Structures are given as C-alpha cells and as structure tokens.
A = this chain, B = another copy of it.
Amino acid sequence: METALHSHTEIIAVLVSDSGSRHLRSLAGLIPSGARILCTTDRLFAQISGTEAPQGIAALLRPHVATFDDLVCGTPLVVIMAGLQDPGNVGALIRTAEAFGATGVAACIAGGTGTANPFGPKALRASAGSALRLPILRGITAPVLLAQLRVAGVRVYAACPDDVRSDPGRHLSCSPHEPLAPWDVDWRAPSALLMGNEGAGLPPDLVRSADAAVRIPQAYAGVTPAPVDSLNVAVAGGVLLYEAARQRGLT
C-alpha cells in the first residue's frame, strides 16, 4: 500500500475496511486530494483483496502506460519478456530488472503466447512494487519491438539454454551463430535482453531476428544429456542482468 502511494502511478481511489481505517491517519499525507475514499466491511474487503491476511486498506490505481521512448532513455538496458506465462516469474524478473538498473521492461506476445499481466496481483506482489516504478511497455508483439529496437540502435541478445551446445540441431534452430557467454557481451552499449517462455523457450525465428544469442555456462558442461534443462527464467535473467550491471560499473 505504501509502495503504491510512493509510486508515480495515478491513485483513483483508496478502499478501507472497518479495521483498516486505523491506517488512514498515518497515510493521509500520501493520498492525493483527487482520490476517493471508499469504506467497506472487513468481510467484503477480505473477499476482494485475495490475500490471506489483508491489511484492510488498498489502493485502486491506474498503472503508468510506458511508451517505447520511456524504455530506451539514457543508455538502454531493456528486458523483453516474450511469452513468460508464470506471474511469479514476471514479477521476480521486473524486481531484478529494477535492482540491476534496467531502463525498462516490455511484456510481449511471442509466437502466439502472451506474457502474464505485470499488474496482476501475483506478479505485482512478486515484483515487490517494482512494477509500479519501472517503465513497462505492453500491447506490442516481440517482432515489432525488435524492429523498433534495431532502428534505435539497441542490440538484442536472446537468452538460450546452455544445452544448445550439446545438441547441434537445437543450436542451429536457436541461432545461426555460436551463443556468447555473458561476459563476452558488451553490455555497456545500448542492449536488450530477450527472455522466452518457461517451457518452450523462445520461438526460433525470434532468436534469429536477435543480434546474438547468449547462454549461461553451467557446471555440467560436457555431460550429455545435461541433467538440468536450464535455469529458472527469473534466475537466468538475474544472472545476465548482474553481468550487465557489473560491466556498467556497480560498486
């Protein structure tokens, strides 16, 4: 609730239950004058909130609609979610993107698969509020976004599982070039990281439209078949964004 009030999103209304009204005084200075205060019973509030132990106070807000230009301000480091279906992963990736200085996130449709709503309750909670602060672009397909990024001079890196090395056929369907290790990418230049669906990964034609593929080397290299298919998508995104942030000079 406090995260919502501190964010730059538009607060339309504040919903308060009988037992939640005690929070109103401490938050009063943060509630914009244009917002309506709606009162309800504890029972009705519990039904609406969808959490196990609701605080009794909730904000109804209109998320900021980001444009393409919002995503690429400064030296762009854009995260493209192409068909990520688990809202927990979507939220965790947005949280990680903010922590490592990404300039924005795009939630795209790829190969007919949409990305879970970043502003849905589960994703918003997993993002620890980052979804209300970081520019998030929606309603765009991945191929259209990749074309726009190319025009803007942003290089796109497609995240591929490490096992492309042990399966040459899969390697070729993934990328026409040998995938790069994270430390071989120059992340200080304008960059975008393309992450695919949890199960199916990225559609091969989307990987081919990227500038390069990037893989996270794993410790079982050389063992065939690799015992671990790939990392969890939020963990893989975290590792790649950490590498980007490290190169950009975190201290």
Residues of A participating in the B interface, judged by any CB pair closer than 8 Å: 88, 92, 95-96, 98-101, 126, 128-130, 133, 162, 181, 183, 216-221, 227-229, 231-232, 234-239, 242-243, 245-246, 248, 250-251
Q: Looking at the assembled complex, report how far the CB atom of A156 sits from the nearest CB atom of chain B, in whole angstroms.
A: 21
Closest 7 CB pairs of A and B: A101-B219, A235-B238, A217-B250, A239-B242, A99-B218, A99-B228, A92-B232
Contacts of A130 in B (CB 8 A): 227-228
CA distance A221 to B129 in the complex (A): 18
Across the interface, do A250 and B221 meet the contact criterion of CB distance under 8 Å? yes
16 sampled A-B residue pairs with Cβ under 8 A: A95-B232, A96-B231, A96-B235, A99-B218, A99-B231, A101-B219, A101-B220, A126-B232, A130-B228, A181-B250, A218-B250, A219-B245, A231-B238, A232-B234, A235-B237, A238-B239
CA distance A250 to B165 in the complex (A): 14
Across the interface, do B251 and A217 meet the contact criterion of CB distance under 8 Å? yes
If A219-B250, A246-B183, A251-B221 touch, whether A231 touches B95 (CB-CB below 8 Å) is: yes
Across the interface, do A100 and B218 meet the contact criterion of CB distance under 8 Å? yes
Contacts of A99 in B (CB 8 A): 162, 218-220, 228, 231
Q: Looking at the assembled complex, report how far the CB atom of A223 sits from the nearest CB atom of chain B, in whole angstroms.
A: 11
Cross-chain contact of A235 among B162, B181, B234, B250 (Cβ < 8 A): B234
Contacts of A96 in B (CB 8 A): 231-232, 235
If A219-B100, A221-B251, A235-B235 touch, whether A228 touches B128 (CB-CB below 8 Å) is: yes
CA distance A248 to B218 in the complex (A): 11
Contacts of A246 in B (CB 8 A): 183
CA distance A133 to B237 in the complex (A): 24
Contacts of A234 in B (CB 8 A): 92, 232, 234-235
Contacts of A221 in B (CB 8 A): 250-251
Contacts of A245 in B (CB 8 A): 217-219
Q: Looking at the assembled complex, report how far the CB atom of A25 sits from the nearest CB atom of chain B, in whole angstroms.
A: 22
